[in-house]
A and B are shown apart, each in its own frame.
Chain A
């Protein structure tokens, strides 16, 4: 496996890549990318009431004045976007990843902080699979600096809650409950990173006969490092397109 890094999310990422490296001779690159993308989630509890995700959103918005925001409900996401905002420009992401059990406490904190600090857009998983994903809450901001500031505030406000953690994102704070990403063109940050890692592993899969998966994973990530340092990337570091 990769050398441990200080951050919990970096370790989650390294573990996911190591597992994908072991799998790479056996599956196509797109399936490899899918396995990487799903990493960090948890299985849906069959006894979970399907109304819970939207109820938690309703409770979180109830005390807030959201007249300046439009609420949009899709099948899997519930979103809020400030009126008049150009969403294509909101490429700086904050992931908030409490465990499912901590979501009722975390969501009101996230929503309140988002409104008070003028976050222009955010979304929350609106069904059972959505709240079991690692990236169950995503905030979108127009600049890296603003995103860093809000992420730091969120990490502080949520520090006492248990974190699930989003692999392939830059950890903010001690627990990994808050992290950062930056969309690539029109592609989501994690989708872009997972696809790049999967392709790098797939391209070097023939070497698995000679080297162990952990080393293959290390080498694939090193090869990508000039473009996307997926393990140690953190807010402020450049991200190549």
Chain B
């Protein structure tokens, strides 16, 4: 049967999320490993025509009959989207295996081997995770793998890794049963939450402790001759006491046995990214590649961000992974920690020969580096916070300001509120902004000191070189000297502008040039 004859169906498990203030919708299939896709509302309207099975041509004709669009032009314009929706199995061939509804293979209360299921964690088309208990009350996890192509390999690798990794913090195998499509494993429960979530409310010392504990866990795993192969924070669980457990060994490599590689993301190493970029199969996972992945996770745990900005389309993301150096900490909005950044740069080197010779060596270097003091973030500019009081409605500025001046005051207060969290500045920013009908102050000319200072801050964020920051701070001092609250507020020149610039210098990653709309919307 040719593609033109195949009848396609918009799968019943498809979920659509309307995005507010946008002409796109997010469409995904429940239980699928394919990430949701952004498509236009028009494309989704076309996809909706496949609620009952139709050939692609019939679907386009039905859409055009309803919308008045021209069929040939529509088919031409929509073809790429339709192909993408079939690849992600949002549109499926009627009657084939992909058209089957997602169904749970087990249910609460059911006995699986020695375990009784208590709670569903996740149900996907090719796998399931359930919480369960043993007869003595011990909590366990039931993992079901059910994939004709990959399932048997995933289970075999997981069993091997768990057996060999018993001296590392990995789950204990309680029971298992193989099947032609994979099998079922009952594993001891690993407590904790995903490592990146565990760091969200931690202070600097807590983040450091978690990061080191994660590296320790991987050092122990490598000492057992196991490479995880699927390093990401969701597979590394951390308890409130910073005890770490590693889970999910379906892609693990034990003593050189090759395994499939992940297809992207911030933990992909540069050599694999270069291969994918060239449409080649990435080479076998090795310890240097896993060192890169662990170092990328350490970077995220310490800073809350990825070492590279991968918010771009896939080919460019692969290029950045294959070629770029990690961002300085200041570039992701945290205080510099030069010794740690140096260690991470080496572990994240594009050339694997430049990385540490083992994860254990990386761990030693990181331990020493984290023992060095880090440069403390500068406290918010106290003079500016104190001065906000004169901008209240019973002060002289309110009495004398015109609309143009009010725009300067509104901007200044909004930036103080954003950069310091000060509630008085936040309330006053709304009052002043309403007063000037939400008009922004003018953007400074490119040769003005304020513009030059912001360019220097941007260069500091990009490169991490402290000289750029010093240049910005110097300009801030030169712009206006000490703040005098009897001066009219001006964010482009004078004492208020200088004070605001000094405050922007304290948080360079979120610095904003006056008049740029995004900051005013915060």
Whether A and B are associated in the same complex: the answer reads yes
Tell me if A116 counts as interface (CB < 8 A to partner B): no
Tally chain A residues at the interface, Cβ within 8 Å.
Answer: 37
Q: Of B333, B435, B522, which contacts A44 at CB under 8 A?
A: B522
B interface, size bucket: 20 to 34
Q: Are B304 and A35 in contact (CB-based, < 8 A)? A: no
Given contacts A19-B428, A23-B434, contact A45 B304 (CB under 8 A): no
Q: Are A35 and B200 in contact (CB-based, < 8 A)? A: no
Given contacts A31-B434, A43-B426, contact A19 B201 (CB under 8 A): no
Tell me if A75 counts as interface (CB < 8 A to partner B): yes
Q: Are A41 and B426 in contact (CB-based, < 8 A)? A: yes
23 contacts between A and B (CB under 8 A): A16-B427, A19-B393, A19-B427, A19-B431, A22-B393, A23-B431, A23-B435, A27-B435, A31-B434, A32-B434, A35-B430, A39-B430, A41-B427, A42-B421, A43-B414, A49-B200, A52-B200, A52-B201, A55-B197, A56-B201, A100-B421, A164-B423, A214-B394
Q: Are B426 and A47 in contact (CB-based, < 8 A)? A: no
Residues of A within 8 A of B458 (CB): none
Chain A interface, >50% SS class: helix
Q: Are B20 and A75 in contact (CB-based, < 8 A)? A: yes
Residues of A within 8 A of B430 (CB): 35, 38-39
Tell me if B493 counts as interface (CB < 8 A to partner A): no
Contact indicator per residue, chain B 410-433, by CB within 8 Å of chain A (1) or not (0): 000010011001110111111100
Tell me if A181 counts as interface (CB < 8 A to partner B): no
Given contacts A18-B393, A19-B431, A22-B393, contact A40 B423 (CB under 8 A): yes
Return the chain A residue nearest B509 by Cβ. A47
Q: Of A41, A51, A75, A164, which contacts B197 at CB under 8 A?
A: A51
Tell me if A236 counts as interface (CB < 8 A to partner B): no
Given contacts A35-B434, A43-B414, A47-B304, contact A23 B200 (CB under 8 A): no
CB < 8 Å A-B pair total: 84
Return the chain A residue nearest B435 by Cβ. A26
Residues of A within 8 A of B392 (CB): 19
Of listed B425, B428, B434, B509, residue having the most chain A CB within 10 A: B434
Tell me if A1 counts as interface (CB < 8 A to partner B): yes
Tell me if A7 counts as interface (CB < 8 A to partner B): no
A6 to chain B minimum Cβ distance, whole angstroms, is: 20
B288 to chain A minimum Cβ distance, whole angstroms, is: 30
Which 6 interchain pairs have the tightest Cβ spacing?
Answer: A22-B393, A43-B417, A47-B333, A43-B418, A46-B510, A104-B201
Q: Are B427 and A39 in contact (CB-based, < 8 A)? A: yes
Residues of B within 8 A of A55 (CB): 193, 197, 200-201
Residues of B within 8 A of A52 (CB): 200-201
Of listed B427, B428, B435, residue having the most chain A CB within 10 A: B427
Tell me if A213 counts as interface (CB < 8 A to partner B): yes
Residues of A within 8 A of B393 (CB): 18-19, 21-23, 213
Residues of B within 8 A of A40 (CB): 423, 427
Q: Are B197 and A46 in contact (CB-based, < 8 A)? A: no
Residues of A within 8 A of B414 (CB): 43
Q: Of A1, A27, A45, A56, which contacts B418 at CB under 8 A?
A: A45
Tell me if B398 counts as interface (CB < 8 A to partner A): yes
Residues of B within 8 A of A212 (CB): 394
CA gap between A59 and B202 in the complex, in Å: 14
Known A-B contacts: A40-B423, A43-B522, A55-B193. Give 14 more (CB < 8 A).
Answer: A18-B393, A18-B394, A19-B428, A20-B431, A21-B393, A22-B431, A23-B435, A26-B435, A31-B434, A46-B418, A47-B304, A47-B509, A51-B197, A55-B200
